[in-house]
């Protein structure tokens, strides 16, 4: 029995590994984090894309104002693209690629590809998907925040009303403020959503025009 215990708890046993300074579970998590980091590196790097857009504009000897006028956007939009804060709409990305005489994949990579480099279609589609997610995430986060604020206001109103204090001071003022806050938040959300929809329709029209120009 003694030899059996030594063998079970020996250096080569699974129990011995679990009691070591670096547990097996920690090693697995570290490997997963490393793999996730490597996967993300293959996707779009906004800072790198921004630097590449700035280089391409400099090669054309254009100022931000001149490029903005050509694309029909504001100077601030150009600056935010080149600083890696935001990305241009996909239809504008097509126009930029056509004007700079580069491929869309090269812009999303943030560098010109070598002549011998064979780009996989799957990697390009992943970059395009990441690009679309960047734009959608801003809209989703803002709408989610507005929705949460509206719910909080409704909960405050419902709680005070259920206690029968809706018309008792100072709770009446709190109820009125909560309702006003909810209505204001909902109106702001509707205006923001309508502006986003109009922008999306305009982007689709520009995208269709750009695609016809590529044929």
What DSSP line would sit under 111-151, residue for residue? SPPPTT----HHHHHHHHHHHHHHHHHHHHHHHHHHHHHHH
Cα–Cα distance, 206 to 64 (Å, whole number): 21
12 within a domain of the structure (yes/no): no
Max intra-chain CA distance, the chain: 86
4 within a domain of the structure (yes/no): no
Q: What is the pLDDT of residue 2?
A: 46
92 within a domain of the structure (yes/no): yes
- Both tokens of 104, joined, read 């869309």
What is the span of the domain harbouring residue 158? Answer: 47-214
110 within a domain of the structure (yes/no): yes
Check: CB of residue 52 under 8 Å from CB of residue 102. no
99-105 contacts: CB < 8 A, separation 24 or more? 99/60, 99/70, 100/56, 100/59, 100/60, 102/56, 104/128
End-to-end CA distance of the chain: 81
Question: What's the pLDDT tens digit per position in 77-88?
Answer: 899 999 988 888
DSSP category for residue 63: -
CB atoms within 10 A of CB 8: 11
pTM of the model: 0.43
Check: CB of residue 91 under 8 Å from CB of residue 203. yes
Question: What's the pLDDT tens digit per position in 143-159?
Answer: 777 778 778 777 877 77
Q: What's the whole-number mean pLDDT along residues 18-32?
A: 46
199 versus 32: which is more confidently predicted?
199
Q: What is the CATH number of the domain that holds 109?
A: 1.10.260.40
Q: What's the whole-number mean pLDDT along residues 180-184?
A: 77
Q: What is the pLDDT of residue 20?
A: 45
199 versus 185: which is more confidently predicted?
185
The pLDDT-based confidence of 124 (bands split at 50, 70, 90) is low
Number of domains in the chain: 1
Q: Classify residue 61 as left (phi > 0), alpha (psi -120 to 50) or beta.
A: left
128 within a domain of the structure (yes/no): yes
5 within a domain of the structure (yes/no): no
157 within a domain of the structure (yes/no): yes
The pLDDT-based confidence of 53 (bands split at 50, 70, 90) is very high
The pLDDT-based confidence of 104 (bands split at 50, 70, 90) is confident
Residues with Cβ within 8 Å of residue 37, at least 6 apart in sequence: none
103 versus 126: which is more confidently predicted?
103
The pLDDT-based confidence of 9 (bands split at 50, 70, 90) is very low
Check: CB of residue 44 under 8 Å from CB of residue 131. yes
23 within a domain of the structure (yes/no): no
159 versus 56: which is more confidently predicted?
56
């Amino acid at each position: 029995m003694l030899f059996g215990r030594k063998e079970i708890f020996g250096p080569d046993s699974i129990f011995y590994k679990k009691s070591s300074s670096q547990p097996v579970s920690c090693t697995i998590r570290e490997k997963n984090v490393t793999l996730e980091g490597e996967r993300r590196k293959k996707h779009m790097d906004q800072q790198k894309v921004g630097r590449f857009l700035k280089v391409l504009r400099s090669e054309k000897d254009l100022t931000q104002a001149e490029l903005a006028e050509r694309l029909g956007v504001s100077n601030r939009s150009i600056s935010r693209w080149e600083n890696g804060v935001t990305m241009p709409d996909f239809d504008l990305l097509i126009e930029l690629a056509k004007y700079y005489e580069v491929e869309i994949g090269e812009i999303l990579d943030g560098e010109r590809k070598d002549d011998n480099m064979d780009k996989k279609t799957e990697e390009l589609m992943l970059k395009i998907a990441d690009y679309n997610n960047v734009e959608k995430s801003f809209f989703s986060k803002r709408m989610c925040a507005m929705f949460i604020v509206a719910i909080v206001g409704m909960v405050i109103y419902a709680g005070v009303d259920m206690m029968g204090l809706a018309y008792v001071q100072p709770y009446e003022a709190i109820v009125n403020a909560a309702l006003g806050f909810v209505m204001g938040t909902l109106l702001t959300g509707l205006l923001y959503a309508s502006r986003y929809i109009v922008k999306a329709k305009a982007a689709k029209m520009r995208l269709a025009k750009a695609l016809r120009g590529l044929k």
